[in-house]
Amino acid sequence: MSRTRTALLAAMALVAGATGSAIAAVPGDAGAAAVPCTVDYTVQNQWDTGFTASVTVTNHGAAKSSWAVNWTYAGNQRVTSGWNARITQSGANVTAANESYNATLASGGSATFGFQGSYSGTNAVPGTFTLDGVTCNVDDGGTDPTDPTDPTDPPTQGDRVDNPYDGAKVYVNPEWSANAAAEPGGDAVADQPTGVWMDRIAAIDGANGKMGLRDHLDEALRQQGSDELVFQVVIYNLPGRDCAALASNGELGPTEIDRYKTEYIDPIAEILSDPKYASLRIVTTVEIDSLPNLVTNVSPRATATQNCDTMKANGNYVKGVGYALNKLGDAPNVYNYIDAGHHGWLGWDDNFGPSAELFKQAATAEGATVADVHGFIANTANYSALKEDHFSVNDTVGGKSVRESKWVSWNRYVDELSYAQALRDKLVSLGFDSRIGMLIDTSRNGWGGANRPTGPGATTDVDTYVDGGRYDRRYNTGNWCNQSGAGLGERPQASPEPGVDAYVWMKPPGESDGASEEIDNDEGKGFDRMCDPTYEGNPRNDNNKSGALANAPVSGHWFSAQFQELLKNAYPPVS
């Protein structure tokens, strides 16, 4: 019996906690005949009076040019807003109809939409769903969609799907989960999925008593059970790593590209391609903070550094990323996502286009092709707000554009969602597959708490307007280290917006960005003044204060004070 069929037998779960998921129960053996459609309804986040949910509908019948999903609530739930579908409600009855851009639902194809709702008392998962009037998740006596001869058969194990996150659980790192659960209030988020970081060669086998890559993958198989499961791993060990920063420098020198290939990428590729793990959907985040440095921090830029000039000249960032994409992409169940910085780094016109072109160069280096790239990830380990609701680049105040404000400073984008969607369009125009998807790291960009604005700033002048309304409370978008006032952002979820495969917590909340003072270590990590709370800044953050928390440990180490800060300022709030 395939995992696809087994998933249809999952019993309905009633959601009483912060998250939950259900596929309606099917009495008897689903193998006796086919179901015409399946609906997976997942409560992504829940608090005292509200919740967000994601719904994936899969069509096992004939292709459709339009569709509508219906369900009825047993309680007093009300849908207040939605995305990726036109959602209406009459009493307890809800209808979610396609948008124009996702009207086609192929045989075997899926569509995912989401919404925010309110409730009081209990928030039970609906018991019955229909697609165009036909009940889903129930035998119709027709052909078996899991029969290998059936043309409507959904993807089997090892087949790449359009979005690996759709219809799948995501791996919960037990080491991070234990750290989170040990914190006061941490139980509320300890079951959230986070990325597993391979930040040095020793991490592959396990360093300092921690789990190695195979240990994590074996645990992922245990968590998977009969479901689809995504395993997220961060590939992060380029020669001369993080040339413009010191806190996250790595173990390999600028010229050690051969060691990177043979001692780091090759062993990882061998493990990921092991048939034992073929049932997992493995998502790689390839080399954060590398390629963007070759655009913004090289000569003749004012922010140039000698280290970045060296890495641009020797080409080892481009070679390393290309090699990683080529080798890792050989496994049919691996989905490569290239790091793409964030809006506060690459959003300006003279950074945006050149960065996209550099991504294309790296994706076609060392034997790689654009087919080895499933997508890109924005805001990895950063703090940029997901969506600024109270101002946009199209606003004017007193005859001045918002782009002229000190905060925006002529950037074309004011948040990560607009940046990620625009970058995706640019990359497709350069030759990447039109189906590429974006990931956005929302692990630390919630900016909730008492200081979260509830409306626009005063229209006294453009700076007052922007500063009074912005969620992102940093001194400058160039500030990146252990930011004071930051909060957990949107919980991980699949297909939240057009062009976005998932919101993810690729950076595990509570793991330090870097030490606030120099600390000896055997990990090759230095001390960067941007992690020093007393630092007054440099040209890369327009000479603003660093905004960093005090008493931080070396990057990647647990930082309890940061975790507590993120819990306190979470948005949506943690209940």
Catalytic positions, please?
289, 513
The DSSP secondary structure of 298-323, one letter per residue, reads STTSTT--HHHHHHHHH-HHHHHHHH
| Residue labelled with tokens 């994936």 | 56
Specify whether the CB–CB gap between 470 and 454 falls below 8 A: no
In Å, how far are 233, 280, 334, 372, 565 from 272, measured between CA atoms? 10, 10, 8, 15, 35
Amino acid at 265: I
DSSP 262: I
CA 518 centroid distance within chain = 31
Asked if 520 and 560 touch (Cβ cutoff 8 Å), the reply is no
Check residue 551 and give left, alpha or beta (phi > 0: left; psi -120 to 50: alpha). Answer: left
Is 309 within 8 Å of 298 (Cβ atoms)?
Answer: yes
Q: Are strands 196-198 and 229-235 parallel, antiparallel or unpaired?
A: parallel
Angstrom distance (rounded) from CA 412 to CA 558: 35
Enumerate residues 6+ apart whose C-beta is below 8 A from 188. 18, 567, 574, 575
Q: Under a CB-based contact definition with an 8 Å cutoff, are residues 503 and 54 in contact? A: no
Which H/E stretch holds residue 196? strand 196-198
What b-and-e string marks burial along 524-535, b requiring 16 or more CB atoms within 10 Å of the CB? ebbbbbbbbbeb
Closest C-alpha among 113, 146, 132 to residue 41: 113
- Dihedral over alpha carbons 377, 173, 229, 428 (to 10 degrees): 0
CB 21 within 8 A of CB 43: yes
Alpha carbon distance 88, 95 (integer Å) = 5
CB 436 within 8 A of CB 428: yes
Per DSSP (E only), the strands in 32-173 are 37-46, 50-59, 68-72, 78-83, 86-90, 93-97, 110-118, 129-131, 134-135, 169-170
